Amino acid sequence: MQGGSVWGAIVVMALALPWCTGCPQMAITKAATTAASAMVDDRSFDQQAADLDLKVRIEKRLLTDAPSLASSVNVDVYLGRVMLTGVVPGWSDRRRAASLARSVAPDGEIFDDIEVATGSGLGDRAGDFAVNKELGVNLLAAEGIPSQSLQHRVVNGTAFILGQATTQGQIETTRNVALRTPGVTQVVTHIMLRQ
Please, where are the H alpha helices in 74-190? 91-104, 125-141, 168-179
pLDDT of residue 102: 97
Q: Which of 127, 144, 124 is nearest to 181 (CA)?
A: 127
pTM, full prediction: 0.78
Q: Which domain holds residue 153?
A: 125-193
32 plus 79 within the same structural domain: no
pLDDT above 50: residue 50:
yes
Per-residue confidence at 35, pLDDT binned at 50, 70, 90?
very low
Q: Are residues 52 and 100 in the same domain?
A: yes
Q: Please write the tens of the pLDDT for every residue from 141-158.
A: 999 898 989 999 999 999
Same domain, 75 and 136: no
Q: Is 156 left (phi over 0), alpha (psi -120 to 50) or beta?
A: left
Asked if residue 39 has pLDDT above 70, the reply is no
List Cβ<8 Å contacts ≥24 apart for 31-36: 34/10, 35/7, 35/10
Judgement on whether residues 183 and 140 belong to the same structural domain of the protein: yes
CATH number at residue 135: 3.30.1340
Q: Calculate what percentage of the chain has a pLDDT beyond 70.
A: 77
* Domain final residue, candidates 116, 135, 167: 116
Report the pLDDT value the prediction gives residue 111, as an integer from 0 to 100: 98
73 lies in the same domain as 96: yes
CA atoms within a 13 Å half-sphere pointing along the CA-CB vector of 150: 31
Residues 87 and 129 in one domain: no
Please classify residue 52 by burial: count the beta carbons closer than 10 Å to its beta carbon, then call 0-12 exposed, 13-18 middle and 19+ buried: middle
Residue 13 is predicted with a pLDDT of 52
**Listed residues 65, 99, 116: the one ending a domain:** 116
The answer to whether 75 touches 101, Cβ cutoff 8 Å, is: yes
For residues 106 and 129, membership in a common domain is answered with: no
Q: How many domains does the chain have?
A: 3
Same-domain check for residues 71 and 111: yes
Tell me the pLDDT tens digit for each residue of 93-118: 999 999 999 999 999 899 999 999 87
